[in-house]
Structure formats: C-alpha cells, structure tokens
Amino acid sequence: MFGKILIANRGEIACRVMRTAQDLGYRTVAVYSEADAGARHVQQADEAVCIGPAQVNQSYLVIDNIIKAAQKTGADAIHPGYGFLAESAAFAETVASAGLTWVGPPPGAMRAMGDKPAARRLAGLVGVPVLPGSDRRAQSDRALAREAGRIGYPVLVKPAAGGGGKGMHLVRGAGELREALARARREAAAGFGDDRLLLERYLDGPRHVEVQILFDRYGAGVALGERECSLQRRHQKVVEEAPSPAVTPTLRARLEAAALAVAAAAGYAGAGTVEFLLDGASGDFFFLEMNARLQVEHPVTEAVTGRDLVADQLAIAAGAPLAALAPPLGPDTTVARHGHAIEARLYAEDPEADFLPAAGLILRAEWPSGEGIRVDAGVAPGDKVATRYDPLQAKIVAWGDDRSAAVRRLGEALAATSVLGVVTNLPLLRWIAGSDWFAAGQTATDTIALRWHPAPAERPDETWLTAAAAALAAAAAALLLPFWLRGLTPFWGDLTYLHHPWRAAPATLMQAGRAPLWEPSLYLGMPMLGAMQGGLLYPPTVLFVTFDFASALALFQLFHYFLAGWLAALWLRSLRLNWGASVGGGVSLALGGVMISRMPFLNHLAVLAWAPALLLFFRRPAQLTAVFSLMFLAGYPTFLPGAAAAAWALALALRRRGAPGPASWVAAWTAAGALASAVCAAQLLPGLELSALSRRAGGVDPAEALQWGFALADLRQWVSPLLVPLSAFHPAAQWWKCVYIGLAAMTAVIAGLFFLPRRRTATLAGFLAAVAVLLLGASNPVSRRLWEIIPPLRYVRYPGNLSYLALLPLAALVGAGLSRLRAAPVLTALVAAELLTCGWLATPAAPRGLFTEAGPLVRALQERQGTARYLLSPLALESSSGANVSDWKTRLYGLTNAPYRLRAIANFGEPLVPAASYAFMDRLYRARGAAEAAAWMPWAGASRLLTPEPPAPTPLLIAEGRSLWSVSRLATPASAAYLFSTRAGAALPEALPDLPPPLGRPLAVERSREDRFEVSGEGEGWVYVCEPRYPGWRATLETPQGSRPAGTSPALGAFQKAAVPPGPWKLSFRYDPSSWRLGVLASAAALLGFGAYWYHRAVRHVA
C-alpha cells in the first residue's frame, strides 16, 4: 500500500484524481510550472512542488524533476493522469526504478500499445480487424509518401507515441502530405516527446466507439461497456456518452470481446480504453488504438456503472485483484449499467474562429448543479488560462434514466454554465445539446465539421452593442431635449423644496473645499450626510459641484435615464434575448411612468436606475458590492430591500433547471452587503445616528401612510394614461399615481406571459399581483391589514411608493414578448414613441432661470435678514400643489432658501429631520394666528414672518410691506442666543412647553462658517442657543482664566443651553461628529481593501 500520491499532471484531471485520493485517505502532492503557481490543482493538493518554467518541455515533461518532487515530499506513488507523460513507458520504468508505485499499466504493455504500428499488428494477431496503415520503420517523408500511396488516400497522419487526437491530420491528396507531416512531427514532439509518425487509412464519416476495460495484475480482466465519442473537432473529442446509441447488444458483446483480447495479448493491467472506428453503414468495426491510461471521458462510464475508476486504478496499483475492488469484479461479472450519461468538454477556444485556442483570466466561473449533474472543473475565478497547455477547462456530465432525459439535463446544465474572462466553446456545446440530430443520436466523427457553421449574427457583435447604447442614449435625450431647447427644465414636487436646496447648498461648501457636514440653512440646522437625501457621497453628485444647478440637473437626469435603460438591456441580453427585445425592455423601464414620476426625486431616480444591475450581477459578489454601494449612496436606501426582493423573485422565476440555487446566492449577497456597508460607512453611520433621533425612527404610522395609495380603478393607469380621464391624470399633484408602461409595452407583456413557461409565468404573475395588493393600500381590507401587520412597510412611507417593485418584472415580460413577436421591431418603436409622448405630457417644466435668478422676495430677504431665520405661513404648504406650483415657487423661491444662504423654518416634505426639531417647527405651524407664532419665533432665532396676506395686527409684529408676500418683522430684536439669569436659565424646560417662557437678553453671535459659531457676553447665568442640540456639536467655554469644555443641556426640546460664569466669557461651538470620523475610517479601509482586490486581479490579468 502507499500513503502519499503525487499527481504528475495539472488542471482538471489533477483535481479529479486528488478528489478520490483524498476521499480514500491518501495525502496528495501537486506538481506545477511557474505559470501554474496559483492554479486550482495546486490549491487543492496537500503539498505542491514547482518543477520548472511554464514551457512543458521544461516542467511537466521533465521526468527527473517529477521524481525529485516525489522523493522530496515523501510520496510513494505517482498517478500520471492523462496527457503529458501518462503514456510514457520510460516514465513508468523510471518511477519503478526509484522505488515508487506506478499507478498505471506495466511499461511493457505501454510500449506494446503506445507503438501504434505494433499495436495494430498485435490486434491483427488476435483477430481484431484493423484499417490498412504504415509500418513504424517508415519515418522519412519519402518513405511515408510511399506508404500513403500503398494505403490509398485519404490517410490520417498520427503520432506513433500519443493519443487524444493531438497531432492528427487528415490528408486527402499527395499534395497535402509534406505540410501535414511537418506539423504532425512538431506537435508529437511537443506533446509526447516523440516525433515518430504513422499513417492509417481514413474512413469517411465513421462513429468513434471505445470500450473501457479493467485488468488486475493477475491477468483477470473485465469490460465496463462502451462509450460513443464521435463528436470531435480537429480529431479531439467534444461530447461523449455511454452507452452508444448505435451499439446493439450483439455488437456490444463483439466489441467487448475484441477489447479484452487486445488488452490480454499486451499483458495489460489497470484501467485502459480500446478504441474502434464503427462503419455506420455496414456495422463493421476496426481497431484504432489503445489508450494505456485513464480517459478524459471516464465520468460517463462511472455514471452508468456506479464505479469510481480512479479508486479502481489505485486499488489495482496497490496489488488488489478484481475480486477485491469495491464493488468486486471478475472475468465472469456482468457489469450492471443504469441509465444514460453524456459528457460535454468545455474548452478554452473560439468555436467561431476555427477553434483557435484562447487565453485570459477567469473572472467568473459558474457551474451547474442538481440531480444527475456532475462537473469536473480544473479552473476557478482568478485562474489564468494559457495557450501553452491543454485547453480543457471542465467537463459537464449529465445522467438520466434514458438518453432523452440525459440530453434534456445536459441542455439545462449547459444553459446554467457561465465562464467570463476567456472565450470558450460553450456556444458550440449548447448548439449540440439543442440540435434535433443530436437528440436522434445521429453523430459521426465529421458531424461538427459538416454542421457547425455559425452565422455572423450569432457571434458577439460590438456593432450591436454600440447601436443599442446609442438608441437608449437617444431615447433619454429625446425625453429631455424638448424642454432644454425651449430654455425649460423639468420641475415639480420635491425638486422645489428639497432636492434643489439639498444639492445646491452643499455644492457651495464643497466648492470651498469643505465637507458638507452641517447646513444651518435647512430646517433648523441639519447634519447633511446623515440626512442622505442629497446623496452627497454619490459620485454623480459631483455634477452639482461642477456646473450650475440647472445644467447639473439636466446631465444628472440624462445619465440616469440612459443608465436605467442600458443596464436593463444588458440584463435582458444576458438572458439570451435578442438585442431588439433587450432594447425594447430597457426603453419600457427607463421611460415608463414609474421612472418619469421620479424625475423630481433625484435620489429615487438614481437608486432605481441601478436596480437592473442587481440582476445583471446577481451571483457576482464584487460587482454586487459596487451596485449596493452606489444604490445606498444615491440617497434613498429604503428602496434597496424592495429592489432586492424584486431581483430575487425574478431570479427564482428565470432560474434554469440545474443552475445554482438560492443557497449559493445567499453567500454572494451576504458578502456583497457586508462589504457595501463598510464602503458606505461614511454615510451609513451618520445616517443611522440621524435615523435613531428622527421622527421616522419607528417608520410611518399606517393611518398616515395609507392616505397615498391606489384605488382599484387607478390600476388602469398602469396600462396607459389614455385609459383614465384626463382630469384624473395629475403628474405633479398625484405623482405617485403617474405609473404606466403604455399600450404597446402592455401588448408585449401579455405576449411574454403567453410565451414564457408556465412556472415562470406563474411566478412573475404572482409577484405582480402581490405588488398590486400592496399598492391598493386603504382601498380594501386585505391591503389595509397587510400594511398594519408588516413592520417593514412602515419605512416605505406610503403604498404609492411601492410602484417601483413592478419595474423589473414588467421589463422582463416586455423583453420576453418582443423576442417572440414577428412585429417586434415595429412594436419596439411604438413603445418608445408612446412613452416619449406620455413623458412630454406628464412633465411640468419651468424656466431654467428659476434656479439661478433671485426673485424680488429673495432679494428683499437677503438685504434685511442677515443670519436670522424667517417663518413661512402654514398656507405655503397649501400653495405647494395645484396648477400654480411654478408661480408659487417663483415668488417664494424655496421653502428652505439654502442656495441663497437664507434660513427658513419649514418642515415641508418631512425627510429625516431630528424629531425634536420637527416638533418645534410643527408647533409654529400649528399656531392659531400670527400673534401666537410671533411669541415662539425668537426661540428659533426667527426675525420675520411671511404670509400671503397681511396678518392680524399684533404688538409683537411690525409690517414691512409687501414683496409678493407680506413681510412682518418682530417688534423686539431677535438673536440666535439669549442670556438668562441663573435661576431663569435653570428653569428653562428640557421639553417643549405649551407656552413660550419669558425671553432673555439677546447676545452677539458670530458665525465664521456653517459648522462653527461663537456666542460672547458677560455675566453669570445660562446661555440659550438657537442651534439644535445634536450629537457632534462641541462647546468650549473661554474665560480670562482659560478655556474648558462646556457641557450643554437640552432646552425647549430642540435646542440647547449652557451655564456661564461671572465676568466676560465666550462660548465657541464646533460641529465635529464622531459618526463621520469613524465612518470615514471604515470607508477608507473598505475601499483600500476593495481597490487592492481589483488591482490584484488587474495585475494578474495583465501578467
């Protein structure tokens, strides 16, 4: 027996032998060339030894180096695999001379079978028919030419000391012989270390059938049945199966008897294969050669016999008789065979470029799994494929109860196979598995040469890729260009009071080189990164730093409408839909009502534009990490779970049989989610901090959320706005109902539901029905109850916000329908035309100057207001809807005029605002008149009140006239800080009281920048500061005696107070949040790690 085995090979066969050896308890040793240092077989072995440079004649063919590796590691047996030195009698003898066990046939048998002319003569002596051939002594070009004339053309030139189809060349006439001999000699010398050749009569269109045999070292042998290996390219096998569909029981018995006779005459021991050519017309067979080794295609025999041939090899090499094998065998044993098995060889070669070898870096390798599926792979992601070695990368084996079941499973397995980074013959294998002639078993050695003629349209075509991108870019431009050419910009909804100020205000800070951590002009003061709405760390936000707001907005929208369509098209194309159908599906997603309604919600638009990438990169953790990160940074992370749910539903619906299932997906998504969280920590940690302090910390109350849902009749609008009355279509006022895919796209959806398999149709229809139930919100008891009992829905805000869940399923159905309809090109054009028309009609617009030109009210406030806040009348909220939205916006210019450094008190839109700040603003808006509001205004540092009409007279306010709106000023000076006596300051309540307390003395406040200000004064007491008390604000008290940290306490719910000593003092406030600093460190570390990973892959790819 032996305990450690060295496998003198590489790639798939080395991994295969190691798997069985390790299962049997043997330790394994890999040998590798310098080029294979990171190869899969090296990683799988218990030990590994480098045996030389990349060139095979300096590494894998150097016997001495392999023997030294065995001696160095203490291996006591060598398994040669197949190829390289597997059929070298000299290698076998050297192994034995070194005192090691050779896992293979005796050297004498190897010489008898490895010398092809001698093997032919031996077969003839035992009565096995052979085709006419040359004598091994004829080696010169002249001698071989004479032999070819004697045999008769066509002839096959073959290496005398090799197999596997390498070095074989068909010669149909004397004029081709010289070149064929030269090429065959070079290939034989490189592949087998022996350049001798032989000639053999070529049989046109035969089948290639072989018999697997096992012999022990005591002369007992058994045949394990035949294999069909007829499908070949360049005389190398591509697809093999067992049993052969052309072999009858009678013929099988004859073939097995012939194989056993040849092996016995050679004194064979171990596993071997005797190959025959079968004349399909006459049924005659002829001895071809015997391979004194394990064959590449041995898994199909294992599948139908239930044996492990590598285990049998190891046992025979250890001296076990056939009767001691597991299960036992004998000369009289009838080997039971069950079902049918087919193997497809995955080569790194281009079947559409005359099978030229391909090289590259394996970026992704996905293998099928499931009942009856086996994959023997020799590569993994990150491995380099070089043309200097055998191009075989993996073998996909499918077993079934009968041949038809095996063919079906093979097709499903190949459909689930994916290799990215190197060209493979996967298109050829899929074509074979789906061919009628293959299903009928009509194969011969020249079948591929005669039938495989890939049309140019079937090849990857960069022209199509470019044309598709251009078409989608043109569609996105066509949507927005009519507005731009007229000097208008799309404008309504959140763009008016949220996304304009939340993009423009931070842009000014970033232009000044400062991180936009705190913005005093928004609400009562906001942590900008924590709020997330502005997507400040999202890469395309740089547009708002580089260009004026109107130009940046145009580019931002154009990019994301194109991106949504392009990613959707690439995803649909990855499902093997044609380019036309893929583009049609992309257009329906990008230009449909769901995306149009999100035009003013820049964070919504950005997140949804990336959603198709979740499916495009569904099982690729590195790319998923990037997509998750971008979707999170875009500013609306609550869309991520829904988009992920839609992606999973589609992945389950569209998963091919035999493809990796949900268990394997979980690992990829978990890893991607964890890394993306780290990458986004600079935004995630401040966001979590704000969320915990926000009014939204517990989500939205269902009673509030259900106000914005669909009625059953509203679902008609999903088809087309034409199906609802024009008065019911309010893209600005009821944007959440502005959802449609159009009549043309709906036609494609119906076709897709009809053409897809029932399982997929049922899954997609079920998902869409579930979305519809959630959208209906308060319109029926079932929907209402779901919103009440499912906690995550509280964070969606309202039912209408869930319409995006239908985007991906509908795009898939549009693409599926277009791919099967004859009128698809016309229908695709109609989809684009209809959606563009609806988009133009559904998009309110305003002059571009709205974002750059200050109106009279803004100019008046800039002159009078300084750093004080102003309060808007609650009636402003009523003005934010209806037909006069643009007029209201022009006159008021922003409920929070941050772009003009004007500080409005406004809680419109309710983004993530600290709950205490929101409550204070809400108290002001719920005031029962101007007098009550004016009494609270100083506590928020507000000096002016804006109302549509002059307020009722009150001594607290002084009218300043009208500037579009009526402007009233507080009668008493307003400040951002007040000094109270020790007693009065201590009495200031922590919570917001019902009535405002008496006001203290105004103090001087100097704000040097947005996140720093100073309050100075004299005298003991308490300083009340009208800046929200929020984590990250740090106060320092400076006195003549020195400086020290100043502790602050909450006051009036939202604000803060600090005790000050007698004498002069100064309070310095600075916003320096720990959540931001920790987040930056975590993000930097994650990005460095992520970048190092990609750099390493790029370097390996270049190498």
Q: What is the pLDDT of residues 468-510, one digit of tens each?
A: 899 999 999 999 998 888 888 877 667 766 777 778 888 888 8
Q: Which residues of 627-638 are buried (b: 16+ CB within 10 A; e: fewer)?
A: bbbbbbbbbbbb
State phi, psi for 233 to the nearest 5 degrees.
-130, 135
**Inter-helix orientation angle 621-633/662-679, to 10°:** 50
Q: Tell me, what's the pLDDT at 120?
A: 87
Q: Which pLDDT belongs to residue 164?
A: 58
Q: What angle do CA 300, 302, 308 make, to 5 degrees?
A: 145
pLDDT top residue among 892 and 224: 224
DSSP state of 686: H
- Assess whether pLDDT exceeds 90 at residue 840: no
In this predicted structure, which of 201-210, 439-448, 652-661, 917-926 has the lowest mean pLDDT? 652-661
3-state secondary structure 131-183: CCECCCCCCCHHHHHHHHHHHCCCEEEEECCCCCCCCCEEECCHHHHHHHHHH
Better-predicted residue by pLDDT, 900 or 767 = 767
Confidence of residue 896 (pLDDT cuts 50, 70, 90): low
Contact 535, 635 (CB under 8 A): yes
400 three-state secondary structure: strand
pLDDT in tens, 1002-1061: 999 999 888 999 999 999 999 999 999 999 999 999 999 999 999 999 999 999 999 999
Q: Is 398 helix (H, G, I), strand (E, B) or coil?
A: strand
Of 157-161, 587-591, 1063-1067, which range is least confident? 157-161
Whether residue 239 contacts residue 345, with contact meaning beta carbons closer than 8 Å, is answered with: yes
- φ and ψ at 524, to 5 degrees? -100, 10
Angle between helices 107-114 and 89-97 (to 10 degrees): 170
| Least reliable range by pLDDT among 60-64, 432-436, 512-516, 611-615 | 512-516
- Do the Cβ atoms of 895 and 876 come closer than 8 Å? yes
Write down the pLDDT at residue 888: 43
3 state SS of 683: helix
Q: What pLDDT does residue 898 have?
A: 66
835 pLDDT exceeds 50?
A: yes
Which amino acid does the sequence have at 705? A
Q: Tell me the pTM.
A: 0.68
Q: What is d(CA 529, CA 683) in angstroms, rounded to the nearest whole number?
A: 6
Interacting residues of 546 by C-beta distance below 8 A, sequence separation 6+ = 552
Q: Is-contact 450 803, C-beta < 8 A?
A: no
The answer to whether the bond into 825 is cis (omega within 30° of 0) is: no
Q: Which residue has the higher pLDDT, 876 or 286?
A: 286
Q: What is the mean pLDDT of the chain?
A: 87
pLDDT at position 456 is: 44
Residue type, 7: I
Query: What is the structure's pLDDT at 492?
Result: 67
pLDDT at 523 over 90: no
Long-range contacts of 1087-1093 (CB under 8 A, 24+ apart): 1087/679, 1090/622, 1090/625, 1090/675, 1090/679, 1093/622
pLDDT over 80 (residue 879): no
* Cβ–Cβ < 8 Å for 1017, 1060: yes
241 has which bridge partners?
A: 228, 342
What confidence score (pLDDT) does residue 1037 get? Answer: 96
CB atoms within 10 A of CB 532: 29
Q: Mean of the pLDDT values across residues 731-748?
A: 83
Centre a 10 Å sphere on the Cβ of residue 422 and count the other Cβ atoms it contains. 21
Q: Please name every residue paired with 488 in a beta bridge, in sequence order, or none if there are none.
A: 847
- SS3 call for 409: helix
**Range with the poorest average pLDDT among 50-64, 187-201, 867-881, 1033-1047:** 867-881
Count helices and strands in the chain by DSSP H and E runs: 41, 41
Whether the Cβ atoms of residue 992 and residue 919 lie closer than 8 Å to each other: yes
C-alpha 798/C-alpha 802 separation (Å) is: 8
Considering 398-407, 598-607, 947-956, the range whose residues carry the highest mean pLDDT is 398-407
Share of the chain above pLDDT 90, in %: 51
Alpha helices in 575-656 (DSSP H): 579-591, 593-597, 602-616, 621-633, 639-654
Number of Cβ within a 10 Å radius of residue 958? 13
Question: How far is it, in rounded angstroms, from Cα 378 to Cα 7?
Answer: 14
Q: Kindly report, residue by residue over 105-153, the tens digit of the pLDDT.
A: 999 999 998 888 889 889 999 999 998 888 667 788 888 888 888 888 8
pLDDT at residue 729 above 70?
Answer: yes
pLDDT of residue 657: 59
Task: Report the pLDDT averaged over residues 946-950.
Answer: 84
| Fold of the 4-103 domain | Rossmann fold (3.40.50)
In this predicted structure, what is the pLDDT of residue 875?
56
Mean pLDDT of 159-182: 81
Q: Which CATH superfamily is domain 340-452 in?
A: ATP-grasp fold, B domain (3.30.470.20)
Q: Is the dihedral of CA 934, 937, 938, 941 positive or negative?
A: negative
Please tell me the predicted confidence (pLDDT) of residue 462: 62
Whole-number pLDDT of residue 911? 61
Confidence of residue 339 (pLDDT cuts 50, 70, 90): very high
Determine the pLDDT at residue 788: 85
Residue 839: exposed, middle, or buried by beta-carbon count in 10 A (0-12, 13-18, 19+)? buried
pLDDT in tens, 242-278: 999 999 999 999 999 999 999 999 999 999 999 999 9
User: Residue 1103's pLDDT is what?
Assistant: 44
**What local confidence, expressed as pLDDT, does residue 886 receive?**
43
% the chain with pLDDT above 70:
93
- Tell me how far apart the alpha carbons of residues 648 and 805 are, in angstroms, rounded to a whole number: 12
- Tell me the per-residue pLDDT of 6-54, one tens digit each, with 9 for 90 and over: 999 999 999 999 999 999 999 999 999 998 988 889 999 999 999 999 9
